[in-house]
A = this chain, B = another copy of it.
Amino acid sequence: MKQKQGLLLIISGPSGAGKGTVVQELIAKGGYALSVSATTRSPRPMEQDGVHYFFLTKEAFDQKVAENGFLEHATFCGNQYGTPRAYVEEQLAKGTNVILEIEVQGAFQVKEKFPEAVLLFLVPPSLAELERRLVGRGTEDAETIQKRLGRALEELELMTKYDYLVVNDTVAEAAEDIAAIVRAEQQKCSRQKAFWNEFKGE
Residues of A at the B interface (CB closer than 8 Å) are 121, 123, 126-128, 153, 156, 159-160, 162-167, 176-177, 179-181, 183-185, 187-190, 192, 195-196, 198-200, 202
Contacts and interface: CB of A to CB of B under 8 A. Distances in A.
Given A126-B202, A128-B202, A188 B167 contact: no
Contacts of A187: 164-166, 177, 181
A156 B189 contact: no
10 contacts: A126-B202, A127-B200, A127-B202, A156-B199, A165-B188, A165-B192, A166-B187, A167-B195, A179-B180, A184-B185
A162 B189 contact: yes
Contacts of A162: 189
Nearest to A164: B187
Nearest to A127: B202
Contact of A163 (B127, B153, B166, B189): B189
Given A181-B184, A183-B184, A165 B196 contact: yes
A187 B120 CA distance: 9
4 closest A-B pairs by CB = A184-B184, A180-B183, A180-B180, A181-B184
A93 to B, nearest CB: 22
Contact of A126 (B163, B167, B199): B199
Contacts of A121: 189
A164 to B, nearest CB: 5
B164 A200 contact: no
B189 A159 contact: yes
A200 B153 contact: yes
A165 B195 contact: yes
Contacts of A166: 187
B199 A123 contact: yes
A196 B156 contact: yes
Contacts of A180: 179-181, 183-184
